[in-house]
Structure 1
Amino acid sequence: MVEIAVAERDGVGADGASRPTEDHVAVLGNAVVVLDGATAPRPDLPSGGWYAGLLVRSLSQALTAEPEADLAVLLAGSIADVAGREGLEPGRSPSSTVAIARWTDESVDALVLADSPIIAFGPSGPDPLTDDRLVSLRDSGQLRTGADVRAKRNAPGGFWVAEAEPKAADEAVRRSWPRSEVEALLLATDGVSIGVDEYDLFDWPEVLALSRERGPDAVLDAVRTAEKQDPDGVRWPRAKRHDDQLLVLVEFGVAPG
């Protein structure tokens, strides 16, 4: 029997003030969807959290209605659905990362768009599914301004996110594993994965072990504690003192016979 544990926590805005989380999660019968709404490109636009909330509902309906359909096709349809209903235009709309994991008795399928990773664990250890394009551009200094981000978003040679352009789904990073080779999955937003990728607090096997021993909330606590010890971003420069956090642990146990 599949067991799923979820931990989530609000972050703060760029001004340091509290605000509702822009991360969203849906736990379905045979799937988990994690989205991280991004800051809108203009202050007069709706928030990324608003968009992510609409998209997670559309994806949940699509995954329930067509449980075996291609994940990229479902994502493209949900992007088109939300954009059509809300009158959103490419390049002028809020956006969101996407991480989808879905399983059957035979296989585990996963899709990642932008920086919300999925990590599969099996007998050979962790197998991360990541989309590193956004981080690579940021680390190479190509996203210094808002204009840089707008020019590179959903563009060849740039990075891809869910927004108002359905073809972004074709750019998602995907993986499929035999169900018998997957013991557990972690799905995370970057408010959690930063503890692995930048803070070096732990690696993914240690995140899994901590989540199993003390629950996913313990991982969130560890990241928050580190950030509180670096409140001004001296050791770890970052746009916000605390980002929204979301971590999902999917335990598969014994594979179906």
Structure 2
Amino acid sequence: MTSRETLGRSANLKVIERLGDPDTDANADWVEGRADCVLWMDGAVPVNSGTTRSDYSSDAAWLVRRFARNFFEHLTPECDTQTLVAEVQGVLAEEFAGLGQTRANAVVGPPFACFGAARLIGETLELTNAGDCVLLYEDAAGRVVSFGYSAVSALERRATDFLIDFKVRTGASHTDALQATVPAILDNVAQRNRLFGYDVVEPIAGLTTQLERVLMPARSGQRLLAMSDGFFRAVDTYRLLSSEELFETAFRDGLGAILAALRSAEEQDPEARAWPRLKLRDDASAIAFVVET
């Protein structure tokens, strides 16, 4: 861990708990933290590609791990976050091209990922976001607020509405209805890095991912909770908790308690009828951390 003196700051980010489910290389989410920065990502791959170019079960799992490693290796107090993100994308573009094609020589498009980070720069806390990961944090008044605007939820809602209507009209299973929804999902994916609120990172050289950014004084004891949209399903899909309740439960009872409730809800609704959703089960990851001075 880099020392406070080396970083020229009097504050640290202390990770309280991190969780990833599944806890294997199949998870296309990634959360990681060190004293000066906490990062969170949620990867995705071309719909129904069924093939990979990396040694991982999905190229999205490859992307988030390689991105995080390169990001932290090159992160310095002086660097600009958005510039670093662009540089890492260029490095990974070369790596991805070097992976070649699949054994079947199928054309597989590049994976992409939502991105978020909290950095301590001197006495300032910088928050950045691209895509639909969720960050909850305490503001100066002690209220739990969220950071980041996402257009992805509205796009996914339209695709989910189509899926629901298809089920009602045809009586199809979730698997068949999801297959019928693929064109709508592909239309959504085509909006990435074009639609405001749907910026993502990709292994593409020269791509400028527009990051939302906010700066605030680093306050001792400030708590933050970052997560993938799969973990936030406890709030926006299964309605098990409000955002505020999720935040307090995470720090009081731990992330595992939330994950257990989330997975239980999924198991109770194997055809996504009580809680409509595209993926019956999604990767779920989160990281809880606090500012220490």
Q: TM-score range by the shorter chain?
A: 0.7 to 0.9
CA displacement at 1:139 relative to structure 2 = 2.3
Equivalent residue for 1:218?
A: 257
Is residue 61 of structure 1 aligned with residue 67 of structure 2? no
Is residue 195 of structure 1 aligned with residue 234 of structure 2? yes
Structure 2 CA distance for aligned equivalents of residues 19 and 85 of structure 1 = 18
Partners of 2:129 and 2:148 within 8 A in 1: yes
Q: Identify which of 12, 16, 19 aligns with 1:7.
A: 19
Q: Identify which of 159, 163, 180 aligns with 2:219.
A: 180
CA displacement at 1:100 relative to structure 2 = 0.9
CA displacement at 1:104 relative to structure 2 = 4.0
Specify the structure having the higher radius of gyration (Cα): 2
Partners of 2:40 and 2:117 within 8 A in 1: yes
Q: Identify which of 84, 94, 97 aligns with 2:94.
A: 84
Deviations 1:36-86 (A, max 9, x none): 1112343334421111111111111122xx233221111111111111232
Is residue 44 of structure 1 aligned with residue 51 of structure 2? yes
**Structure 1 counterpart SS, 2:262:** helix
Equivalent residue for 1:74?
A: 84
Q: How many residues align?
A: 245
Partners of 1:76 and 1:169 within 8 A in 2: yes
Q: Identify which of 62, 73, 95 aligns with 2:112.
A: 95
Where does structure 2 lack aligned partners over 5 or more consecutive residues? 1-11, 54-58, 99-107, 163-180
Matched ranges for 1:15-164 at <5 A: 20-41=26-47, 42-46=49-53, 47-63=59-75, 66-87=76-97, 92-104=109-121, 106-124=123-141, 125-141=143-159, 145=183, 146-156=185-195, 159-164=198-203
Structure 2 CA distance for aligned equivalents of residues 169 and 60 of structure 1 = 19
What percentage of aligned pairs have identical amino acids? 23
Partners of 1:45 and 1:93 within 8 A in 2: no
- TM-score with structure 2 length normalisation? 0.74
Moved more, 115-124 or 35-44: 35-44
The residue type equivalent to 1:207 in the other structure is L
Partners of 2:77 and 2:121 within 8 A in 1: no
Deviations 1:100-120 (A, max 9, x none): 111245111111111112122
When the two chains are superposed, the root-mean-square deviation of aligned CA atoms in Å is 2.8
**Structure 2 counterpart SS, 1:202:** coil
Equivalent residue for 1:14?
A: none
CA displacement at 1:244 relative to structure 2 = 0.8
Equivalent residue for 1:15?
A: none
Change (3 A) 1:236 1:39: farther
**Structure 1 counterpart SS, 2:219:** helix
Change (3 A) 1:102 1:82: same
CA displacement at 1:213 relative to structure 2 = 1.6
Change (3 A) 1:48 1:246: same
Structure 2 CA distance for aligned equivalents of residues 126 and 68 of structure 1 = 30
Structure 2 CA distance for aligned equivalents of residues 92 and 158 of structure 1 = 22
Change (3 A) 1:22 1:106: same
CA displacement at 1:168 relative to structure 2 = 5.3
The runs of at least 4 aligned residues of structure 1 exceeding 6 Å deviation read none
Change (3 A) 1:177 1:213: same
Moved more, 145-154 or 236-245: 145-154
Change (3 A) 1:165 1:156: farther
CA displacement at 1:140 relative to structure 2 = 3.9
**Structure 2 counterpart SS, 1:52:** helix
